[in-house]
Amino acid sequence: MTVPAYATTIFTFQPTPSNMQNLPFGNYYLWEINWSLPSGQSITAATLTFSNIYDAEDKPSDTLYIHLLNNPYPSFKWSKVSSNLLVGSDPDNETTDQFKGIGVLIGDPSGIGSIPKNLVYNFSSSEITTLTSYALDGSFGFGIDPDCEYPNRGVTFTITTDPTSVPEPASMFLLGSGLIGLAGYARRKFVKK
């Protein structure tokens, strides 16, 4: 009997360049991810990580706005940085969130500080549900608007999937065998009395 393998799968994505040009405050960025949720899988975790990121000015009001976008192309003026990264010029430099009201604000980290650290954002269950609906379309993205310069060593997004809760054939076989064995045992006990 051949039993199909069911396992956790981790998908990893990075923009190009991976540090998003060190996220200067005069720009906002669109990172496009072309990926569809594989058939028979469900997203169980998602994590966005900024490696060794810090706030170049370290002002308490500085914020790095991060939006999960279903339509990865809001109607802004873009310049292409690479195949998966676009940049726009922020007209007010650092006073507003250019993606406000678009997609889902998944992070609003402020007070990152001047000491480099890893900023790790784990998606909540409701954000995973939203990501799942976006991934069914095959293309989604992140809109990122820094209101200060955030040098970093790279941005990574990981999605963890597991098979949807369909029992494996081997599990069903074992369950069926166990039930047949129990029925036989109960019948023998009943007949002896």
pLDDT at 72 over 70: no
Most confident of 78-82, 95-99, 162-166: 78-82
Rounded CA gap, 94 and 150, in Å?
Answer: 12
Per-residue pLDDT, averaged over 96-121, amounts to 88
pTM (2 d.p.): 0.80
| pLDDT band at residue 175 under the 50/70/90 scheme | low
What's residue 1's pLDDT? 41
Sheet with 117-122: list strands edge to edge.
9-13, 155-163, 41-53, 117-122
What's residue 2's pLDDT? 41
What's residue 59's pLDDT? 85
Asked if the peptide bond before residue 17 counts as cis, ω within 30 degrees of 0, the response is yes
Rounded CA gap, 134 and 65, in Å?
Answer: 19
Percent of the chain with pLDDT over 90: 57
| pLDDT band at residue 164 under the 50/70/90 scheme | confident
| Contact criterion met (CB below 8 Å) for 87 and 29 | yes
Q: Is 44 or 184 the better-scoring residue by pLDDT?
A: 44
Rounded CA gap, 184 and 182, in Å?
Answer: 5
Rg of the chain over CA atoms, in angstroms? Answer: 24
Please determine, looking at this structure, whether the domain spanning 9-166 carries the CATH number 3.30.160.
Answer: no
Percent of the chain with pLDDT over 70: 77
Give the helix/strand (H/E) hosting 160.
Answer: strand 155-163
Burial class (CB in 10 A: 0-12, 13-18, 19+), 158: middle
What's residue 54's pLDDT? 96
Rounded CA gap, 159 and 12, in Å?
Answer: 7
Average pLDDT, the chain: 84
